Structure 1
Amino acid sequence: MNYALISENIKKQFKKSKRIVHALKGINLQIREGEIYGLLGPNGSGKSTFIRIASTLLIPDTGSIKIFGYDVVKEATKVQRLINRVSAEASFFKKLSAMENLLFAAGIHGISKKEALEKIYDISEKVGLDRKRLNDPLEDFSRGMQQKVAIARAFMTEPRLMLLDEPTTGLDPRAKREVQSLILQMRENMGATILLTTHDMEEAERLCDYVAIIHRGRIIIKGRTSELKTMIAHKVTNPTFEDVFMEFTGISFDEAEYEEAESA
């Protein structure tokens, strides 16, 4: 079995005002190569903190994450060559065109202009970006289109592991569906392993092969989406992921969102 990511006992705390916030309380995950793995939980549950550690942006207090066998702290440079990250709020030079933003990103990674142009046209086709709009300013793009550009930019480096941190947050329903379809295409057309964080239970169920539910910095339950619903089928007729969350956390998802917001 080949694993893209293995985390062991990841803990992280932050000092806010005069108190300590325990963001992660011992996270253990194993993500198989080639799958879409969902980290599902309310805002403030620790999802983004885990992504930042996996992407070498934060150092854990204890524990380790290995990506394709490389430690994210001790071998950060090697890990950075294997991953890329897309967040809910992708940063761009909004006055510049999509093409200019993509060429700039290519240049940072040492990709020649000739090779970059080939990559841009190839990736744009795969992610559904209209070539005719590549020279339009990013500020004229919808949020959904901007996320497509962000994902295209991430694939310039041909990452083996894509870290998607709430990529559909704030999108209108149509744009959300387009980005969700794109995520499925990424695995199909580009062979990427994907770690997706989301607080959208329908999104997790639609996209993910395997899901871990995180609450208060801990993994509560994990398994294949169908397996998790089957586990409570004797209690609930036609169970939803909302039912799964409530069964294993003891509270509704809305209550968990409120609880996490109050403790932030």
Structure 2
Amino acid sequence: MRSIEAKGLTKEFKLYRSRPGLTGAFRDLLNRQYTTVRAVDAIDLSVDSGEVVGYIGENGAGKSTTIKMLTGILEPTSGVLKVNGFDPHRERESFVRTIGVVFGQRSQLWWDIAVRESFRLLQKLYRVPEGAYGSHMDRLIEVLDIGSLLDQPVRKLSLGQRMRCELAAALIHQPRLVFLDEPTIGLDVLVKENIRQFLRQVNQEYGTTILLTTHDISDIEALCHRVVMLDRGRIIYDGGLEELRQQWSGKARIRFVFGDRVSLRNLQQWAGEVADWHKEDDRRFIAQLNTMGETGMSDLLNRLTPHVPIQEVRLEETTTEEIVRRIYREGIRHA
């Protein structure tokens, strides 16, 4: 079963364009000019139940617009969209009971009342039976460690404390699908890891589908096996995180510490076309391979070992953040 099925999903906005000067202002009163901007451009997106998918892109790529359509806040201009079997915009009342939403910079909790009372209000809104609510909330409170926060007003919570309560609020009705928009923004390392661990448990224990949008690539690496990358309203990559690394990792870098002093000129001569070199000192060098895979590294070691003792060698992998940055800088056509 699929949690999300979108085909040709498109959203256009009609923007007012003002003309310069006083004369232009008067003309705008009588005859306004508009321009159409396509924020999401005919994307196809399928997410199976139980998947954890990272949905990433630069500012203005169309991520937030997509999420607003998937959650029913915005109606698509065109295309076909089903989320949990519902049309999110037309069947909104039934649909919202099947999803949970956490926005890192917005709150669904009531600011001036105790956290416990916010949870009770959400229980009534989602029509969660008392028996199911009690046992489920006890579990959420224990795992998220928010028992000591229940009687405090939301406005008195730190950001990390509030985000843990926001996660509990989003899961009160045990939704089949959860949308997370920057859930760890502004949090310290320990709180981030606690939230990631909790999300992994929710996915494993309840089979909850998670769609995660974030600028923090470490969130993607910790939680997602699949990445959907958006640029200018179009999907430019949809596949596994490991496949993305392999496809875009580029040339490997190897850090060497030699047992004896060696000159850069000699290294270049011995290595030939296999690698380019950067010198740190007389014994420490970085080699950037000109060939991909383990073959290039083996070839380089075979060329060096007859000439100079190698004390330490370490392969430096390209981080996912570097890969994503390179894709947006160079374009997916270079993959």
User: Under a length normalisation based on structure 2, what TM-score does the superposition of the two structures give?
Assistant: 0.68
SS of the aligned residue for 2:172 comes to helix
- Of 119, 128, 131, which residue of structure 1 is paired with 2:147? 131
How do 1:158-177 residues align onto structure 2 when only pairs under 5 Å count?
158-177=174-193
CA distance in 2, matches of 1:97, 1:113: 19
Structure 1 segments of 4+ aligned residues over 4 angstroms from their partners: 112-115
Residue 34 of structure 1 contacts residue 193 of structure 1 at CA under 8 Å; is this kept in 2? Answer: yes
Cα 1:20–1:210 shift into 2, 3 Å: same
SS of the aligned residue for 1:156 comes to coil
SS of the aligned residue for 2:187 comes to coil
The match for 1:210 is: 226
- Of 298, 309, 318, which residue of structure 2 is paired with 1:239? 318
CA distance in 1, matches of 2:235, 2:53: 14
Alpha-carbon offset, residue 83 of structure 1? 1.1
Residue 5 of structure 1 contacts residue 66 of structure 1 at CA under 8 Å; is this kept in 2? Answer: yes
Cα 1:92–1:32 shift into 2, 3 Å: same
Alpha-carbon offset, residue 246 of structure 1? 4.0
Alpha-carbon offset, residue 234 of structure 1? 5.3
Alpha-carbon offset, residue 80 of structure 1? 2.1
Residue 34 of structure 1 contacts residue 192 of structure 1 at CA under 8 Å; is this kept in 2? Answer: yes
Cα 1:62–1:96 shift into 2, 3 Å: same
Alpha-carbon offset, residue 132 of structure 1? 3.0
Alpha-carbon offset, residue 107 of structure 1? 1.2
The match for 1:228 is: 244
Alpha-carbon offset, residue 74 of structure 1? 4.2
CA distance in 2, matches of 1:56, 1:241: 31
How many aligned residue pairs are there?
250
CA distance in 1, matches of 2:247, 2:223: 20
Residue 161 of structure 1 contacts residue 194 of structure 1 at CA under 8 Å; is this kept in 2? Answer: yes
Gaps of 5+ in 1: 253-264
CA distance in 1, matches of 2:95, 2:127: 17
Cα 1:75–1:12 shift into 2, 3 Å: same
Residue 102 of structure 1 contacts residue 120 of structure 1 at CA under 8 Å; is this kept in 2? Answer: no
Cα 1:93–1:11 shift into 2, 3 Å: same
The match for 1:107 is: 124
CA distance in 2, matches of 1:108, 1:7: 28
The match for 2:13 is: 14
The match for 1:94 is: 111
- Of 160, 171, 181, which residue of structure 2 is paired with 1:155? 171
AA aligned to 1:5 is I
Alpha-carbon offset, residue 112 of structure 1? 4.6
SS of the aligned residue for 2:171 comes to helix
SS of the aligned residue for 2:128 comes to coil
Residue 97 of structure 2 contacts residue 126 of structure 2 at CA under 8 Å; is this kept in 1? Answer: no
The match for 1:121 is: 138
Residue 70 of structure 2 contacts residue 88 of structure 2 at CA under 8 Å; is this kept in 1? Answer: yes
Cα RMSD (Å): 2.2
Cα 1:68–1:93 shift into 2, 3 Å: closer
What does the per-residue CA deviation read over 1:223-258, in whole Å, with 9 as the maximum and x for residues that have no partner?
A: 111111111245455232234324433349xxxxxx
Residue 41 of structure 2 contacts residue 233 of structure 2 at CA under 8 Å; is this kept in 1? Answer: yes
The match for 2:82 is: 66
SS of the aligned residue for 2:243 comes to helix
Alpha-carbon offset, residue 114 of structure 1? 5.5
The match for 2:202 is: 186
**Higher relative contact order (Cα pairs below 8 Å, separated by 6+ residues):** 1
What does the per-residue CA deviation read over 1:180-235, in whole Å, with 9 as the maximum and x for residues that have no partner?
A: 22222221233201011111222212211200111221111121111111112454
What does the per-residue CA deviation read over 1:91-129, in whole Å, with 9 as the maximum and x for residues that have no partner?
A: 322221111110011111223556533332222123x23
Gaps of 5+ in 2: 18-34, 254-316
Q: Percent identity?
A: 29
Cα 1:141–1:8 shift into 2, 3 Å: same
